Structure 1
């Protein structure tokens, strides 16, 4: 994860992919499979993930021992 994502409430598909160390196509595949938060369409050609949604997703996936 890059430092600037901590300051920005929205992430691009590349930033989202970098966060999980996968390719952007993998992120889109996860979305299509219903296994990942859906992005927001902010305008023509502008789709972003809310950082808050990603953090909630991560918290729901944590394994508690």
Structure 2
């Protein structure tokens, strides 16, 4: 995978140790990155946003 690529929710969840419902609640509350919504309801996340989120979380520890 490339850092400048896009991934779907199934792949996003592989980066986090949470269920889909927990991830969705986290997105709604602003904890987790939100997707980009394309035509016809397709939602994708920038891989760079996911990697940046993880790196920032590691630095906060």
Please, what TM-score do these two structures have when normalized by structure 1? 0.74
Q: Is the 8 A contact 1:41 1:48 kept in 2?
A: yes
Q: Secondary structure, in 3 states, of the residue corresponding to 1:38? A: coil
Question: Which ranges of 4 or more aligned residues in structure 1 deviate by more than 4 Å?
Answer: none
Is it true that 1:35 corresponds to 2:31 in the alignment? yes
Number of equivalenced pairs: 60
Choose between structure 1 and 2 for higher RCO, CA contacts under 8 A separated by at least 6 residues: 2
Asked if the contact 1:39/1:49 (under 8 Å) is kept, the reply is yes
Could you say which residue in structure 1 is the equivalent of 2:19? 23
- Richer in helix (by share): 2
Unaligned runs of 5+ in 2: none
Unaligned runs of at least 5 residues, structure 1: 1-5
Compute the TM-score of the two structures, normalised by the length of structure 2.
0.78
Q: 1:45 aligns with which of 41, 48, 55?
A: 41
